Amino acid sequence: MSQSVVTIRLNGQPYQIGCGAGEEAHVEQLGVEVDKVMQDLVAAVGQIGEARLLAMVALILADRVSTTSAATAGPAPDQISDNADAEDRAAAAVEAAASQIAALATKLASARVKP
């Protein structure tokens, strides 16, 4: 697989990033998105050092991923287990009620047969 190099700019600084052939446009777009977050951050807190800015941008992006993942994910495994337990209890209750109804029906049927 051939390797390509893309230069992105973050906070005005060029960074050369390696990527697979055909991924150049995607990496460039990612760089634009990261720089947008960084510029918004610089506008809010000022130039506080490249390393600190990059760390804060990483946290902002990780938070977005976490929020998006939580919003699109199904129920948590413990919730699935709780739901399964609730369904089991409901099924047991329905079966118990069905047994009681069957017993009552038998009693009613036998009461009708007697003169």
Confidence (pLDDT) at 86: 76
Q: Report the SS3 class of residue 60.
A: helix
Lowest-confidence range among 1-5, 29-33, 86-90? 86-90
**Contacts of 15 by beta carbon, 8 Å cutoff, 6+ apart:** 7, 8, 9, 31
CA distance 8 to 14: 6
pLDDT above 80 (res 20): yes
pTM of the model: 0.59
Residue in this structure with the two tokens 């634009």, named with its chain if needed: 32
Residue 62 contacts residue 48 (beta carbons within 8 Å):
no
Confidence of residue 68 (pLDDT cuts 50, 70, 90): confident
